[in-house]
Amino acid sequence: MPELNWLSIEDAHAQLFSRQISSVELTQACLEQIDAVEDRVQSFLTLTPENALAQAEAADRMLAAGEGGPLTGVPVQIKDVMCTEGVPTTCASRMLENFVPVYNATAVEKLMAQGAVMLGKGNMDEFAMGSSCENSAFHPTRNPWDLERVPGGSSGGAAASVAAGEAIYALGSDTGGSVRQPASLCGVVGLKPTYGLVSRYGLIAFASSFDQIGPVGRSAMDCALTLNAIAGHDPRDATSLKREPVDYAASLGQDIKGMRLGVPEEYFVDGMNPGTRQAIDAAVDVLEGLGASVRPVSLPTTRYALACYYIIAPSECSANLARYDGVKYGYSYQDTDDMWEAMEKTREYGFGPEVTRRVMLGTYALSSGYYDAYYLKAQQARTLIRQDFDRVFQEVDALVTPTSPVTAFKIGEKIGDPVQMYLIDVCTLPVNIAGLPGLSVPCGFSEGMPVGMQFIGPHFFEETLLRMAHAYEAATEWSAARPEI
């Protein structure tokens, strides 16, 4: 039997519900792993061990009474972009270094209602802006497979904590690939749900038309069970969609014979790591062996996705972050009597360089004389990208692509070249632009580092994406691999 901290949600639930183990024992196992490796991995910004053990004791009482669900008593890390009552929520920024919310985000609230155990808050790129977890104002997170390499971003702490055995699962957020890309680089499973399926209430905004909360776990089943808990309409979020509840775990285990899969040529970009291409090709062969039919498809507007995203997302960022002016909450520069200087210095000292860069890009794109040339054209390109997906999904059921064109790179290798850093998300951005679901599952290694395969489906196709990932996991051993830290 594996150590308790390496259990999946499914296995942990089975042992908790049968009372073979207690939530306190499971939580202590995770806390011991955190004590052993956190000084090297640094996936957390805030640890809450006392609260976690108190929640574990409460979960044990629920389980003893025959109550609770699959997440009851199972330890989780929460990305530090989601509000947590009484626990600091910093967005890895000096601007919110001392911010302690008085309420929980809806997704967190739903986990707590099931009796989940929160170990603490996960590190991230500041305000979710980044692809490497190096943009945190406090410290970078390191990849458990190679501590000299990045874990991906912006949900780097979430993916690293699961990969390192510090948490059973994690909640992240995905604006342009921020759940899927770090899941790929760390060798775990990450799901970005359809836009509007999971409430964004209490998720501190970066780009409101892209942001979506999603789970990181050790398996497709982990993500399915978490999505069961956090999905659903929320009247407090105007973009939350009303849908009949779905049991995303119910169809896992069914075969994928007859499934029509498309492989878009545009996702195999110049500069792709050869080992990544080989791993994806081998994974596609496995899917064909499982009975799926695979054919090449084309999404020609994909080449506009990067430019489209980096106009619209910074534009929304510049509007959302305008509220951080030092007046109402957060960091406030006080060493002046001049209001305008105070606001300027608050933003200068409160925001890091990547956030400042994106605010400036967005402000420029929205400014008088440039709105039509940049923002309006980007929105038109967004429509074309959505239409491309609509067309191709009339021909195939889902798409198979690399999650990232490269494996985890060295810390510091790309931080000085924003364009190279932005290109890392070229395979994930189109999914957010179109509001589609996407899932990354481990599919191999290249030079000792994990490679992720991405499934993309039409809106509300999560159940089938999870079913395909589960079938692939059952036919391979990649998701069972563990790093030696």
The catalytic residue positions are 79, 154, 178
Which region holds residue 470: left if phi is over 0, alpha if psi is between -120 and 50, else beta?
A: alpha
Which residues have CB under 8 Å from 344's CB, separation 6+? none
**CA angle (443, 470, 427) in 5-degree steps:** 45
Strand-pair category, 260-264 with 169-173: unpaired
End-to-end CA distance of the chain: 20
Give all strands of the β-sheet with 189-192 in edge-to-edge order: 44-47, 117-122, 75-79, 169-173, 213-217, 189-192, 438-446, 449-456, 398-402, 260-264, 293-297
Say whether 199 sits in a helix, a strand or coil. coil
Which residues have CB under 8 Å from 336's CB, separation 6+? 342, 345
CA 225 to chain centroid, in Å, comes to 16
Taking alpha carbons only, the member of 120, 100, 94 closest to residue 41 is: 120
Q: Which ranges constitute the DSSP H helices of 189-320? A: 220-230, 274-289, 305-320
